[in-house]
Structure 1
Amino acid sequence: MTYENTLAYAQYLDKNDSLRDYRNRFHIPKVNGKDSYYFTGNSLGLQPKTARTYIEEEMKGWETLGVEGHFASSKRPWMEYHKFSKDALARIVGAKPIEVVSMNNLSVNLHLLMVSFFKPTKTRYKIICEAGAFPSDQYMFETQLKFHGLNPDEALIELKPRTGENTLRGEDILSKIAEVGDELALVLIGGVQYYTGQLFDMKAITEAGQKVGAKVGFDLAHAFGNVPLQLHDWNVDFATWCSYKYLNSGPGNVSGIFVHERYANDSSLDRFAGWWGHDEKERFKMKKGFQPMPGADGWQLSNVNVISTASHLAALELFDEVGIEKLRKKSLKLTGYLEFLIKDIGGDSGIFEIITPSDPEQRGCQLSIFFHKDGRRLFDALAAAGVIADWREPNVIRIAPVPLYNRFEDVYQFAHLLKKNL
């Protein structure tokens, strides 16, 4: 696509954007009394205006019904609350409703899923992940391996880009999986790498891992609600995500899991059980002997935090209206425009470079800009000018133009503020 570096062109794109009105359904933070240029949906998405209504409905139910709200809530009985998100979650990750459930937080879910899917033996005990994974993954790997009496320095294989490159090559991931072969117990990487914004070929990775007899899972914190997923068709064993980034469910809000349908009735899988994962027909008989619910529900520990999950449902409603396909279509154009502008203003200055893949099919709606000098000064100058972005050590500014609420004009203004402060 051919872009133009003019305000008139950016405004033309906005005028012809079929999703432009969705911006009005979010609260936009202000800086110095004006709407900010908000580019941190990859850390915390904006608040849907309906979130307050959803929360207030549950607060009213608590006020007027007390404990009876579990059964008698006019809209959403609390006993069934985890079920109200299933269809929408399934559509976002390309799954069946039985394969998904919202629960806990991401780090908790990583540990719970490792109990079931990391089963090391004397000969098959190694894990492959990407180097520089988010700390949720790093610390989980370290402690899980130690729990099994394994040395992380020996059992954890961290894939690094080739010398002089910023991102992993797909062929290098697949060749390492084949090389480790019979020693490989698990492949678990981020669907989208948080620092570089690289989108991995999850289908190919799953096929390669399972071909050598390993389980394959994904941390989808930066992929969920960002890129199209087909977890069921890709035959992924398991996955987890958070909902407060691209989904806009609220700070620290509920995570979710995917467990492939082939494990739906496998009660022999080890797991750390909780009463909400127990057969709901027998749950309140309070008897010994854990009998898991079919599907992902069998990994639940406790009943849902209704107040916070209410805003999760509000966010899912918006996603269901639009659909991930339309969001992806705009995302490709919006992120492509950002890339064009950054390269146009940067030229051959050598001050910065984009370390996110230039191939649109290998990224979501995030560009990571690596500064060879003055990065922090530029970040602070942008913040003072109304840009809410994300700084990552040592020298990266992450910019995520989110298709639900970011405009092409936002992207244009960011680029020209960057140019002004170089």
Structure 2
Amino acid sequence: MASGNLMERAQALDRDDPLSSLQAEFNIPTRAQIASSRLPESSSVSQSSSSDTADTDVTASSEPSTYLCGNSLGLQPKRTRTRIAQYLDTWATQGVQGHFKPLDGSPLPTWLDADQRAAELIAPIVGASESEVAVMQTLTANLHLLMSSFYRPDINGKHKILLESRAFPSDHFAVETQLRHHGLSPETSMVVIETPHSEDNVLTTYDILSTISAHAATTALILLPGIQYYTGQLLDIPVITAYAHKHDIFIIWDLAHAVGNVPLSLHSWDVDAAAWCSYKYLNGGPGCIGGLFVHERNSTVTKAITDDKPAEGYSNRLAGWWGNDKKTRFAMANKFHPVSGASGFQLSNPSILDITSLNASLEIFQLAGGIKQLREKSLKLTAFLEKLLGEMKEEDKALFRIITPLDPQQRGAQLSIKLSEGLLLPVMTELEANGVIVDERKPDVIRVAPAPLYNSFVDCVKFIAAFSLALEAGRKAKGSKGTSS
């Protein structure tokens, strides 16, 4: 199909998109900006700054880039700068009073309540009650905190931890070191889930359940991703959770690629615990504060805590003063009185700078009407991208294949595309030269993720046009190597 017809098709879909106005909420880098190696002189980033074009040959300096990398780092909401400036003004004018003193005209909570406001905003996105979530720490730190609370190995009974064979390296490291911390060996206490059915290790639910069955008698904990980072596969969280519980196994979900991407119902799915980051689909900013979920049955304080018996009535956890009940937090007594719920797992007072940035983005989720509306658009965007890939020239299609499940219910916004050997570098180089940002997973996969908050159907068409040029560049690069050899 002619590129003009494709663009008209995409423009019509964008006109009919009820969420299209949300794109204006984000700073979308221009092609000149992503090609520049110079920090803009102005503190206010302009969409077309002459200083940005000083060291680039890109002629259309103000043309927006095609940013399809929300699975790695979400774009910056425009209101983030405003909210952070308000936070800085509060600090500058109020000092320590910012912890407790509400300011007329300020949309920001007091610093004492900032984490509570974040919990209110994130709870509907993960399908939990406000008391079951806490915005705190970072992803791997939260996984360690959850494992320290709920992994109780018995060397003569249940001691194994199950995870997928291609888990994100940080998750793998966390499991290995937790085992060693307990004096156990990964060789005997770590089980990796694999599949004989897929060369790309796209796991079926049967693969996972059968591994659980095989090791049920000796497994104490399961750690799995809601969406697998490499393939983009969405696992069946409720079915796998129920099966783990059937075998009396505690399960923790890493939702780094799922939160803000697909609808979650952690409470009703009876999930034990989960953790996530906030810099991908939640657009909190690089390395921004993470979050965790602890089901209410695992976080209740069941007995009145008194000064002489402060350690009764709650599950074991590593504790810090911010997990202390607010009523006693500032009493400065060496008695831990945890608040009931996930917030009782908090350690230090959270970074207000981080929470302010995250909350700015979560405000936009409210404007969108919630995650279900975003999912509806996401399914259409990703299906459209998949269709366009299938309509490419046969010589192009011979050079790649989609490894993400083609069933829309088994994936989020991401399509992982596996390239023929030797194409990754020339393809990535050409995409960037044409103002397209995706990410790579060596040796041969690119991940393309149209995020429904700020991506459009036109973005998908622009990617296809640049991808075709990139594949042509890859063919030429491989051809020249063959000639020279």
Q: Distance in 1 between matches of 2:150 and 2:81?
A: 38
Q: Secondary structure at the match of 1:101?
A: strand
Alignment of 1:17-36 (within 5 A): 17-32=17-32, 33=61, 34-36=63-65
Indicate conservation of the 8 Å contact 2:31/2:435, yes or no: yes
360, 366, 386: which is aligned to 1:314? 360
* Distance in structure 2 (CA, Å) of the matches to 1:51 and 1:39: 20
CA distance in 2, matches of 1:411, 1:310: 31
Q: Determine the structure 2 residue equivalent to 1:63.
A: 92
Matched AA of 1:102:
V
Residues 44-88 of structure 1 show CA distances to partners (whole Å, capped at 9, x for unaligned) of 101111111111111111111110111113141111111111222
Does 1:292 pair with 2:338? yes
In 1, distance between residues paired with 2:445 and 2:287?
24
Q: Secondary structure at the match of 1:200?
A: coil
Q: Which residue of 2 aligns with 1:157?
A: 191
The CA distance in 2 between the partners of 1:304 and 1:208, in whole Å, is: 35
Distance (Å, rounded) in 1 between the aligned partners of 2:66 and 2:13: 17
- State the aligned residue count: 419
Q: Distance in 1 between matches of 2:340 and 2:294?
A: 11
Question: Could you say which residue in structure 1 is the equivalent of 2:50?
Answer: none
Worse-superposed segment, 169-178 or 236-245: 169-178
TM-score (norm 1): 0.97
2:112 is the counterpart of 1:79 = yes
- Partners of 2:8 and 2:81 lie apart in 1 by 36
Deviates more, 1:156-165 or 1:202-211: 156-165
Structure-2 change in CA distance of 1:395 and 1:5 (3 Å): farther
Which whole-Å CA distance do the structure 2 matches of 1:312 and 1:346 have between them? 42
Matching of residues 281-360 of structure 1 within 5 Å:
281-322=327-368, 323-345=370-392, 347=394, 349-360=397-408
1:35 and 1:331 mapped to 2: Cα distance? 21
Superposed CA deviations along residues 193-231 of structure 1, whole A, max 9, x for unmatched, are 000000000001100111111101100000000000000
SS in 1 for 2:350: coil
Distance in 2 between residues matched to 1:244 and 1:163, nearest whole Å = 33
* Distance of 1:160 and 1:347 partners within structure 2: 33
Give the 3-state SS of the residue equivalent to 2:81 in structure 1.
helix
Q: Tell me which residue corresponds to 1:381.
A: 430
- 1: CA distance between counterparts of 2:411 and 2:197? 21
Rounded Cα–Cα distance in structure 1 between residues aligned with 2:195 and 2:279: 29
What residue identity is the alignment partner of 1:282? Answer: T
The structural deviation recorded for 1:360 is: 0.2
Q: After superposition, where does 1:12-411 map in structure 2 within 5 Å?
A: 12-32=12-32, 33=61, 34-74=63-103, 75=106, 76-122=109-155, 123-166=157-200, 167-266=202-301, 267-322=313-368, 323-345=370-392, 347=394, 349-373=397-421, 374-411=423-460
Amino acid at match of 1:405: Y
Post-superposition Cα deviations, 1:304-339, rounded to whole Å, max 9, x if no partner, equal 211221111111111122110110000000000111
Opposite residue 17 of structure 1, the aligned amino acid is D
2:191 aligns to what SS in structure 1?
strand
- Alignment CA distance shift 1:346-1:247 (3 Å): farther
CA contact (8 A) 2:430 2:469 kept: no
- In structure 2, distance between residues paired with 1:10 and 1:283: 55
* Identity among equivalent pairs (%): 46
CA contact (8 A) 2:136 2:290 kept: yes
- Alpha-carbon distance in 2 for matches of 1:190, 1:164: 18
| DSSP-derived class of the 1:173 partner | helix
Let me know the Cα RMSD of the aligned residues. Answer: 1.4
- Distance, in Å, in 2 between the alignment partners of 1:160 and 1:35 is 41
Are the equivalent residues in 2 in contact too, given 1:182–1:213 (CA < 8 A)?
Answer: no
More deviation in 386-395 or 357-366? 386-395
Aligned to 2:53: none
Deviation digits for residues 366-388 of structure 1 (CA, Å, limit 9, x no counterpart)? 00000123122111111111001
Alpha-carbon contact 1:162-1:168 (below 8 Å) kept: no
> Residue 85 of structure 1 aligns to a residue in which SS?
helix
Letter in 1 for 2:173: Y
Letter of the structure 2 residue corresponding to residue 60 of structure 1: D
Specify the SS of the correspondent of 2:418: strand
CA distance in 1, matches of 2:393, 2:241: 38
Q: Is the partner of 2:77 in helix, strand or coil?
A: coil
The answer (yes or no) to whether the contact 1:55–1:308 under 8 Å persists in 2 is: no
The verdict on how the C-alpha distance between 1:239 and 1:5 changes in structure 2, with shifts beyond 3 A counting, is farther
Asked whether the equivalents of residues 299 and 314 of structure 2 are also in contact (C-alpha less than 8 Å), the reply is: no
Which whole-Å CA distance do the structure 1 matches of 2:82 and 2:249 have between them? Answer: 45
Measured in 1, the distance between the counterparts of 2:197 and 2:364 equals: 43
Is the CA contact 1:61–1:73 (under 8 Å) kept in the aligned structure 2?
Answer: no
Alignment partner of 1:218: what SS?
strand
Please say if residues 127 and 264 of structure 2, whose CA atoms lie closer than 8 Å, have aligned partners that are also in contact.
Answer: yes
Whole-angstrom distance in 1 between the partners of 2:394 and 2:194: 28
Query: Structure 2 CA distance, aligned partners of 1:384 and 1:213?
Result: 53
TM-score w.r.t. structure 2 length? 0.84
Take 1:5 and 1:154, find their aligned partners in 2: how far apart are those partners?
Answer: 58
Structure with more relative contact order (C-alpha pairs < 8 Å, separation 6 or more): 1
Q: Tell which structure's C-alpha radius of gyration is larger.
A: 2
Residues 251-283 of structure 1: CA deviation (Å, up to 9, x unaligned): 111100100011232444221110000122111
Query: 2:469 aligns to what?
Result: 420
